[in-house]
Structure 1
């Protein structure tokens, strides 16, 4: 039997109407709990989460325990909980990977809002309704808990604090992200957005969250942030070194895709190519103006840095890897032009720069575009 929410207490605000995409009697929220060998924490955490949702969440819900290849008693406990609690389901995967577990749980759900949290419940459950409320109302497409804002209350060791802050600073410096906390295990997404984003995310492990957020932000989707209370689990079995190395590989892969303009984004919501095109168009006349007073490579660097600074100020859409790629490719084009035609004039240099920019504008490489679109169809 589906959960029937209790009537609001006296003086409380009435709950907003369910999203129009919710089917009568079906869960409005599907909350995934990815687990791997969590026989100790699984039952108390799921029961606590279930009780909290019954008491506070005003709509039908489902808790999906996504077991990714556990080798201990986790599958038996998950199956028993699914048999005892009507709002709990169990999903078994044959391969490891938190991202793989979330993709499987979210892809099979028809709930209009999909979410997940870590089984240790380090994040205070009081933030759950504020997390999903903007998605229920249609205000935002994704929502994340953040431990790195003034309104957050965090208790954790200095090493994990240092690693977390360094990682998020790295994301801002290399990928120009605007969200503050990529790693907090407390996120939600509207199902319509998830259906468009999940086919574009390659990672199946811990970097899954970051890649999803980067693609969503680059697609122009709205990401809401909720300050959370967060208490570190002293018994956490997350391998910091291997996880950090995997995250760095993911950052390098996504950064290179951004630099090339080949990061897959949702074509129905993504930002246009305008920033890259405008940068190229502004670079050429500025180069022509500077070139008489400076060598070709110096004029190229000065003109491109000026264009990139203006783009960051006005459009905020070109990450540092894109600047590095443009500097390298345009410098190479000028070098080739100068070597091929030693007395190359300004027109030849501008032609070489234009060709270099064409190779970097997103979507103008037919083969790569075909592959990206095929992967999303």
Structure 2
């Protein structure tokens, strides 16, 4: 079978309550839009029946795949694991809550078709597109975190954390091989790496609705993300990214880092 034009990666951890709806909406959108696409759900060591639900869907959808991490490693690890295994010419990831409707991916694809290497969804470029707003305290912490990210990391984007991003495959294969952050703070790192590599990044306003079931804690996870940003800056100042990039350029074939993968088969 020829490789697909598009790969959609969905990181999932204990998503049994909403993975059915997510798969119904994503696979339905693929059919309605006529996309030549595969869908990869990356199970991050779920303790519920997330994997079993995905396997049940796989019986009727041969281009749906389940990748299982070696235990709970974090969202950043899951996204990297999925995107490095994705076969599409365009690869993207979306959160399982689908706060940005899957149809909005067409806006990301348009940016890639117009010369971008990376297209990132944004909740803040056009706030009128927010259908369900976050509580005020989440808006406050989110904007504070984004201001710190812009200041510390030198990232000019209004929204680095939106879980709705697409990449041309060659860019993704390089960026995610250089990624070191495995949990919530991975988004600023991949954008930092992409800018260091001089990839063209476009920020695109997307329709977005807050899901009250969001698991992120702005206090606990926010502190961890600040630590991650300090680590990224430290890696950069120490020249670790530059050395890794030079090593990749010096090798004739770039080897995928030690990301453990298990692709489940339907019916198992």
Superposition TM-score, scaled by structure 2 size: 0.85
Aligned counterpart in structure 2 of residue 87 of structure 1, from 56, 63, 71: 63
- SS of 2:121's equivalent in the other structure is strand
* More divergent stretch after superposition (156-165 vs 27-36): 156-165
Q: Is the 8 A contact 1:29 1:111 kept in 2?
A: yes
Q: Is the 8 A contact 1:66 1:90 kept in 2?
A: yes
Superposition TM-score, scaled by structure 1 size: 0.62
CA distance in 2, matches of 1:101, 1:223: 22
CA distance in 1, matches of 2:208, 2:92: 17
CA distance in 2, matches of 1:218, 1:166: 24
Between structures 1 and 2, the one with greater strand share: 2
Alignment of 1:172-251 (within 5 A): 172-251=150-229
- SS of 2:87's equivalent in the other structure is coil
Between structures 1 and 2, the one with greater helix share: 1
Aligned counterpart in structure 1 of residue 17 of structure 2, from 40, 45, 53: 40
Q: Is the 8 A contact 2:7 2:39 kept in 1?
A: yes
Structure 1, unpaired ranges of 5+? 1-23, 266-368
State the shift of 1:263 in Å. 5.2
- SS of 1:84's equivalent in the other structure is coil
Match of residue 75 from structure 1? 51
Aligned counterpart in structure 2 of residue 124 of structure 1, from 72, 79, 101: 101
CA distance in 2, matches of 1:175, 1:210: 8
Q: Is the 8 A contact 1:147 1:228 kept in 2?
A: yes
Match of residue 77 from structure 2? 100
Aligned counterpart in structure 1 of residue 149 of structure 2, from 146, 160, 171: 171
State the shift of 1:47 in Å. 0.7
Alignment of 1:42-57 (within 5 A): 42-56=19-33
Alignment of 1:339-354 (within 5 A): none
CA distance in 1, matches of 2:140, 2:248: 37
- SS of 1:30's equivalent in the other structure is strand
State the shift of 1:27 in Å. 1.1
CA distance in 2, matches of 1:66, 1:55: 24
Aligned counterpart in structure 2 of residue 115 of structure 1, from 92, 96, 101: 92
Larger relative contact order (Cα-Cα within 8 Å, sequence gap ≥ 6): 2
Aligned-residue RMSD, C-alpha: 2.0
- SS of 2:165's equivalent in the other structure is strand
- SS of 1:178's equivalent in the other structure is coil
